[in-house]
A and B are shown apart, each in its own frame.
Chain A
Amino acid sequence: MEQAQIQIQVNGESLTYVGVETVAQLLTHLGRDNVPCAVEVNQQLVPKAKHSQHQLHGGDCVELVTLVGGG
């Protein structure tokens, strides 16, 4: 069966994925599944406990953030 293709915005970049249906799958795809990473979809926080349930849809705007040096 052919996997669905979706186009989403990730950190401001337009990216097209095949076989990426959930936040957890997106993080795995980007190699961010084992590092601290907070996720927002369409400006709403998706807590880590919900990463595997949260379905991504075409046009979703995803932010993946981390902690950096700051004052």
Chain B
Amino acid sequence: MSETKPHTSAAHIPAPLASRAANLSTETMANQSEFTTPPLHVGSFQLRSRLVVGTGKYKDFAQMRLALQASRADVITVAVRRERLFDKDGHSLLDALPLDQLTILPNTAGCFSATDAVRVARLGRELLEQLGNPGQRWVKLEVLGDKTTLLPDPIGTIEACAELVKDGFEVLCYSSDDPIAAVRLRDAGASSVMPAGSPIGSGRGIANREAIMILIDLLKNPAHGGRADYPVIVDAGVGTPSDVTLAMELGADGVLLNTGIAHAADPVQMAHAMRLALEAGYFGYKSGRIARKLLGTASSPWSGTFTHIPGE
């Protein structure tokens, strides 16, 4: 994202505007050049992009590659699955990805017990070791409770998290939006808690924004036992750019999504939109929103009005 700095120097501005630009305070100019999202630290990793994207459900690898580029994500998620033994000509995901430019985050999708999730995490690490990818140090832990909703099993997730942390993994935990489950995962050693906005692939966005707000408060507010730099990444259910923006406006540090891009009618354009939406939400949150008021507050002054005002 750092390459998208706005053109603020006078050299980029046509002559008539350049003189006006010169009147802007140097402070404003300096701030404009800082309008790039800073990297996100998760465990020992530094993410240039706060948007993490999945690699599932694309029409083909070519479309996936273009969408990944448009998202500007530098971390992508993958799943661990059986080799198709007798289909040697099948194209491999690994051939389709610029592995040297990406950090792979292997998931344990499809696991319904802590034991299976630990097995799958170890297999993912083995594959990333073979590939020499830095993603070998971490895992996106999913322990699902039920195939219909794909909602996480909080107890199985905590068990698996503790086991994987003991085994040296940095664990990013897919969680429900339950604030106390999130605290328990943090206490079990999770490097990040990743609450679902709504069920995986549902496209319903942030179904319970108050729960996400409380979760973020407990994990990140030092007054409530949190740590300001503890990373919370909203994962799952995100359908539209405005969902991404809302997650960031609520104070999330990043967003992880797959279906919202991969199943859009135009995934490449949607990836671009999701990236912009994330930036909008990030800066919106940092800027401090105005207080909500029930009634109207005029933006233009009342003093100096010379027209009829009802009731006056």
Contact = CB atoms under 8 A, between A and B. Distances in A.
B78 A69 contact: yes
A68 B78 contact: yes
A62 B81 CA distance: 13
Interface stretch (B1-9, B42-50, B124-132, B215-223): B124-132
Given A35-B92, A38-B126, A69 B85 contact: no
B259 interface: yes
A47 B296 CA distance: 66
B94 A11 contact: no
Interface in B223-275: 236, 256-259
B107 A71 contact: yes
Nearest to B258: A71
Contacts of A71: 54-57, 77, 79, 107, 109, 200-201, 236, 256-259
Interface string A1-30: 000000000111100000000000000001
CB-CB nearest 7 A-B residue pairs: A70-B79, A71-B54, A71-B258, A38-B126, A69-B55, A69-B56, A38-B123
B130 A36 contact: yes
Contacts of B123: 38, 40, 45, 63, 65
Nearest to A63: B82
How many chain B residues sit at the interface, stated as a range, is 35 or more
Interface of A: 10-13, 30-32, 35-40, 43, 45, 47-48, 63-71
A42 B135 CA distance: 26
29 contacts: A11-B83, A13-B85, A35-B94, A38-B124, A38-B130, A39-B126, A40-B119, A45-B126, A47-B129, A48-B129, A48-B130, A63-B123, A64-B85, A65-B81, A65-B123, A66-B80, A66-B83, A67-B79, A67-B106, A68-B56, A68-B78, A68-B81, A70-B54, A70-B55, A70-B77, A70-B107, A71-B54, A71-B56, A71-B79
Contacts of B257: 71
Given A35-B94, A38-B127, 7 more contacts: A32-B83, A37-B83, A37-B130, A66-B127, A70-B109, A71-B107, A71-B109
Contact of A67 (B54, B64, B127, B129): B127
Contacts of B79: 67-71
B85 A10 contact: yes
B130 A11 contact: no
Contacts of B201: 71
Contacts of A43: 119
Contacts of A64: 82-83, 85
B80 A69 contact: no
Contacts of A63: 82, 123
B88 interface: yes
B204 to A, nearest CB: 15
Nearest to B64: A69
Interface in B81-134: 81-83, 85, 88, 92-94, 104, 106-107, 109, 119, 122-124, 126-127, 129-131
A48 B92 CA distance: 20
B58 interface: yes
Nearest to B55: A69
Nearest to B54: A71
